Amino acid sequence: MLSWLLLATAVQEDSYKAQREEMVARQIKARGVSDPAVLHAMRNVKRHLFVPASIAAEAYSDGALPIGQSQTISQPYMVAYMTEVIKPSPTMKVLEIGTGSGYQAAVLAEIVKQVYTIEIIPEHGKAAAARLKQLGYDNVEVKIGDGYAGWEEHAPFDAIVVTAGAESVPPPLFAQLREGGRMVIPVGPVHRTQTLKLIEKKRGKAVTRNLMPVVFVPFTRQGQK
């Protein structure tokens, strides 16, 4: 017979599962995200484990949430949309810039072969690495450092996902994108509306498409405050 604690945990998890289903139906599918693998990942990743416990009840709300040190976990729709536009597949190697709590990395890891993710804030990077490992995401490697330089030893990448607003596209990241690869990145002024851009490498050149206006936390460089 289940203990009261186990029963309470099971009931709570059932509640969160229902919230994930509703999140996918109302926030994601209804806005046009249709990739079955992306929808499955969004249903499967337990978002409430990637936010502070004090706001776990808000984990499936339609918006970004604070995770500490002026950083946020992105709106569920934005995570799903950015994942879909890189056209993820099981053979891909993806670089993420801006690990945060690890949620976007977990969503990617549900679909692609390998995720490399870089976080500049040590506390977030260490916590995300431990969280992802505990949840069984063995195909994610976390590095603490300046994401501007990318992760050259693991390049080239099939796709790059940048989850912070940059004033321009970092040249090292484009250099580490394989031929035919895709990068999704918010570009624009700090603390103002940016443009989410999709950049494809074709014959070594950048082919850029503007996707939508967005507001992301700033892309932080080493030594910046």
Q: Which residues are catalytic?
A: 74
Taking the alpha carbons of 65, 144, 165, 220 in that order, is the dihedral positive or negative? Answer: positive
* Distance (Å) of CA 90 to CA 85, 115, 158, 176: 15, 11, 11, 20
Amino acid at 43: R
List alpha helices for 135-219, DSSP H: 171-175
Strands 194-202 and 177-187: antiparallel
**Using CA atoms, how far apart are residues 7 and 105, in angstroms rounded to an integer?**
30
For residue 95, is it left (φ>0), alpha (ψ between -120 and 50) or beta? Answer: beta
- Number of Cβ within a 10 Å radius of residue 16: 18
- Number of Cβ within a 10 Å radius of residue 214: 19
Token pair listed for 95: 């670089």
